[in-house]
A and B are shown apart, each in its own frame.
With several copies, the nearest count.
Chain A
Amino acid sequence: MARKVSVDISRRGGNTQNGAQSCPGCKELLSPEELRRNSMICPHCGHHFRMTARQRIELLSDPDSWNEIAANLRSADPLEFFDLRPYPDRIEEAEYDTGLSEAMLTGTAKMNKMDVVLAAMDFSFMGGSMGSVVGERFWRAAEEAIETRFPLVVVCASGGARMQEGILSLLQMAKTTCAVELMGEIPVPFITVLTHPTTGGVLASFATLADVIIAEPAAFLSFTGPRIIEQTIKEKLPEGFGLAESHVRHGQVDLIVPRLELKERLVQILGMLEGGVACALQPLWEEEARRSGRGGAFAQAFDRIKALAHSPRRPPQG
């Protein structure tokens, strides 16, 4: 019944010589400037092109409000990984191509004057893959959210784990999950925005653990990569498979928000979750703290994260 299509998660559209590309939605030819001006949305059909992390930060934060945190983290090469090229070589190229220090940027920002901790992933940095730096940056962002009690918003875009960090990249799923669990104890509101594409280890950890999961229209979301599934089932995937709209129907995503409404919608939801926290939990904590003489749930979770933040780490090497 359903038309079979091959899913191309890079979804670039064709590039022409002057840098213009044809829209995968309507085949119109679009210049890079035209796209950038329009938040990387096709003005003809509304197709959402991928955004870089910097574009995303610009889209979501008030002017001049962005303060990057954990900016000095850089990937190491713990496995001395060498496939067709050494890992540091690939990192260097990605840095050069994207102007970024890693596949996720983290910082604080204001969204319509509301303080938030904001993280944005960038698919163009090694496919948005999660290695140690992405995991640690996520941890620091969660830590910042817990300490400041600002909500955390993470814009996801990822091809999965950073294979070049081997098992350590896999373990970032466990690490980021622990960070989410700590935020939950406060609780700090946590929202993820799943953009095209969000797959693999990112989808199977923090991306799907948020209080509210938003997706961009037509974002491809899948734990297993489409090619692996096609190899397994030995046929092309049905049309619409893995798209955000399908995930809403299947109960995995709360809502789809078009990019131009995203900031407003985020502020609205965060305000509502905070409204709950501000009005209802505060007296509860105080009551509990008073009664137990132990400082209440908030104080305990706060103590815990502080303790972790300063827990002994092995001495720096290298």
Chain B
Amino acid sequence: MPTLPGVHLKDEIAKISQRLKELGHGRHLDRAVWDKVELARHPKRPYTLDYIEHMFAGFIELRGDRCYGDDPAIVGGLAAYQGRTLMVIGHQKGRDIASRTERNFGMPRPEGYRKAQRLMLLADKFGIPVLTLIDTPGAHPGIAAEERGQGGAIATTLMCMAKLSVPTVAVIIGEGGSGGALALALSDRVMMLENSVYSVITPEACASILWKDAGEAQLAAQTLRMSSDDLSQLEVVDEVLPEPRGGAHRDHVAAAKVIKDALEEKLRELETISPRLRKKERFEKFRRMGVWKENGLTLF
């Protein structure tokens, strides 16, 4: 950037910023966004195992990463689905204090992601489509988790999903928190329940970093555009699934039916395509993610 003599750009920028900050704080706070954040975290919201119970005639949970441990924050297994089979993998939160602790509030450790990879590869071997259900505040922040390679575990899970030759469908059912959520969402089709959220960072953490004030979480949530409507507009999700009136927690069975119907439709679409083309389209989909300017033009 060229600088002109006598013009102290940084000072100018600082002045403008201050003005804009004042303007920014005056923005209309849309209560609807925060309502969705609260619904997404509602303690009675159906979790992965609830959906599995209501969607499938049978489910065999398969455990462990064959290496270090079994992480209860991610569950997975074989589900009987209209006379055939699905591999279902999802984050799992606990409902009461004991199970919340056991499930670590749905925050996976590396062994959870490695279990997910193992199950995906098992599904791939037998041509079983993979359904992932996403509901986590994020990957577990902790010393031992870092030492066991939290970053690498998420990255290799993404890589694993990129490689799969079976159809893959992801549904964000609650909190889609950061890399910990994305790890299970590199899918051919990504859907979102109406009152779920999906974001690069929790609104609280974003507020404390950018606004230097965790109390601005509502503003952060709105600014991050983490609601299903926003994400649909940004073309990050393929479809928003309507919830039962008042939210999924009001009627678990009806919420499960919504997902099941959508899943069926997506699988029908995906199975008409050859594995090779499906993978190509998956790559094209994620290759298009992002917005930038090139030679002055904004590209999506």
Q: Do chains A and B touch in the complex (CB under 8 A)?
A: yes
B10 near A93 with CB under 8 A, answer: yes
A209 near B155 with CB under 8 A, answer: yes
B290 near A175 with CB under 8 A, answer: yes
Where chain B touches its partner, the secondary structure class is: mixed
A95 CB to closest chain B CB, in angstroms?
5
Q: How many residues of B contact A (CB 8 A)?
A: 104
In angstroms, Cα B287 to Cα A304, docked, is: 13
In angstroms, Cα B3 to Cα A99, docked, is: 11
Q: Knowing A276-B123, A308-B287, A316-B298, say if A180 contacts B142 (CB, 8 Å).
A: no
Q: B-facing mask of A292-318, CB < 8 A → 1, else 0? A: 000000000000100110010110111
In angstroms, Cα B84 to Cα A72, docked, is: 39
B236 near A167 with CB under 8 A, answer: yes
Q: Which listed residue, A96, A181, A276, A313, touches B300 by the CB 8 Å rule? A: A313
A178 near B297 with CB under 8 A, answer: no
Query: Cβ of A58 < 8 Å from any Cβ of B?
Result: no
Where chain A touches its partner, the secondary structure class is: helix
- Among the 9-residue stretches B32-40, B43-51, B58-66, the one with 4 or more Cβ atoms under 8 Å from chain A is B58-66
Contact sample, A vs B, 21 pairs, CB 8 Å cutoff: A74-B293, A84-B211, A85-B17, A86-B17, A96-B3, A132-B290, A166-B199, A167-B199, A167-B226, A168-B290, A177-B155, A181-B163, A204-B150, A208-B66, A223-B151, A229-B143, A250-B70, A251-B149, A277-B126, A311-B284, A314-B288
In angstroms, Cα B212 to Cα A28, docked, is: 33
B85 near A168 with CB under 8 A, answer: no
Q: Knowing A207-B151, A208-B155, A252-B149, say if A201 contacts B85 (CB, 8 Å).
A: no
Chain A positions within 8 Å of B, measured between CB atoms, are 72-76, 78-79, 81-86, 89, 92-93, 95-97, 99, 131-133, 135-136, 139, 161, 163, 165-175, 177-182, 184, 187, 189, 200-201, 203-209, 211-212, 221-224, 228-229, 232-233, 237-238, 241-242, 246, 248-255, 265, 268-269, 272-273, 275-281, 284, 287, 304, 307-308, 311, 313-314, 316-318
Q: Knowing A86-B20, A249-B69, say if A272 contacts B60 (CB, 8 Å).
A: yes
Query: Cβ of B291 < 8 Å from any Cβ of A?
Result: yes
Chain B positions within 8 Å of A, measured between CB atoms, are 1, 3, 9-10, 13, 16-17, 20-21, 24, 27, 58, 60-70, 78-80, 83-85, 111, 115, 122-123, 125-129, 139, 141-143, 145-152, 154-156, 158-159, 162-163, 165-166, 178-179, 182-183, 185-186, 198-201, 205-206, 209-212, 220, 223-226, 231, 234, 236, 271, 274-275, 280, 282-284, 286-295, 297-300
Residues of B within 8 Å of A99, CB to CB, are 1
B275 near A284 with CB under 8 A, answer: yes
Residues of B within 8 Å of A206, CB to CB, are 155
Residue of B nearest to A238 (CB): B143
Of A83, A242, A275, most B-chain CB atoms within 10 Å: A83
